[in-house]
Amino acid sequence: MTTSLITRRHSLGLGLGALGLAALGPGVARAQTRVALQLSWLHSVQFAGSYIADERGFWRDLGLSVRLDSGGPNAPVEPPVVSGTALVGISAADYTASAVAQGAPFRILGVAMQNNPFAIASLPGNPVNEPKDMEGKRIGMPTANMPVLQTLCTLNDVDINRIEIIPTQYDAAPLVAGQVDCLLCWSTDLPVAMYVRGIESVTMLMADFGYVLHSQTYIATDDTIANRRADLVALLKGEAMGWDAYRADLEAATDLTLARFPDAGLDRPTQIEQARRQVPLMFSDLTDAHGFGWFTEETVAQNIETLGLLGMPVTADLWDRSILEEVHAG
């Protein structure tokens, strides 16, 4: 889902603030503030926590009517957030850093994926279990992701000149066909595609080897933080409730996704496996202790180091935890 894969580039739609009414109970109505949450990719179980928040009325009970705008390959997330047509966008630390360097007034408010999903996928007969194993091997990847590979090599004292880079489309086929020895990909997609076809693979999560970069992050503008704070708190509180419910019942989360998007070409085996593999990326001892989306000064410092290696210098004020602190107060 450069540092989030080029073929999983964020995209989006529209959203306007307005007022409507939604029933809270017999004879009781409450004004609903209408907002949009801009997703970073096409509808799938990747966003199932948001679907649950909507379906179960978590946002409604917090005074929001939230439209979930689908992403796609041809439009960035950031413009709708800058323009105010989306209250919040789902992005990644590298994209946000790049946008801020160009003058965008963004802050990262929360972190859905505690561990970055980037991985090196290989086959059991010729595995990549650690970064050093890439030396002498052919890696398939979009060339736009060279900074990612270079950063992983720098962090782990790997000689990138000993790796043969094979430009490929974002597909598992070159690995299965033996045209490459490994792939740079997200751990939740190409390895899943192989799994559902009965092909075993080895997935080396780059986050386990120093590549610390927040992904599936919630971003908003300085103006929104200053002037629509209550809406931000409500939106992220509903998100947190939705993702906690997702974690508690992956089967129900998958079934809801398939029911909401019957024409999206989604199949249940792929979606349930993706849901399963998302859990260790999204939940950790940190979130168990402090709540969904949490981050600390230490994790921010690690992100700053990774972004520096990627050529995207930032400071800690790119992150703003004050909204989360209200979400999880008490």
Task: Read off the pLDDT of residues 180-232 as tens digits, 9 standing for 90 and up.
Answer: 999 999 999 999 999 999 999 999 999 999 999 999 999 999 999 999 999 99
In the DSSP assignment, the letter for residue 91 is: E
Q: Does domain 118-209 bear CATH number 2.40.50.140?
A: no
Torsion of CA 223, 228, 234, 238, to 10 degrees: -40
Which amino acid, residue 30? R
Residue 209, C-beta contacts closer than 8 angstroms, at least 6 positions apart? 130, 131, 152, 155, 156
CA distance 287 to 212: 16
Q: What's the start-to-end Cα distance of the chain, in Å?
A: 33
| pLDDT, tens digit (0-9, with 9 covering 90-100), for 144-172 | 999 999 999 999 999 999 999 999 999 99
pTM passes above 0.85: yes
Distance CA 106, CA 95 (A): 11
Query: CATH classification of 6-115+213-327, choosing from 3.40.630.10, 2.20.140.10, 3.30.2130.10, 3.40.190.10?
Result: 3.40.190.10
- pLDDT for the residue 76: 78
The pLDDT-based confidence of 11 (bands split at 50, 70, 90) is very low
- 32 and 19 Cβ atoms separated by less than 8 Å: yes
Q: What size, in residues, is the chain?
A: 330
Instruction: Give the residue among 132, 174, 181 at the shortest CA–CA distance from 156.
Output: 132
In which residue ranges of the chain is CATH 3.40.190.10 found?
6-115+213-327, 118-209
Whole-angstrom Cα Rg for the chain: 20
How high does pLDDT run on average in the chain? 91
Q: Which residues pair with 220 in a beta bridge?
A: 107
Q: What pLDDT does 268 receive?
A: 97
What's the pLDDT at 75?
Answer: 64
Residue 312 scores a pLDDT above 50:
yes
Alpha-carbon gap, residue 325 to 290, rounded angstroms: 9
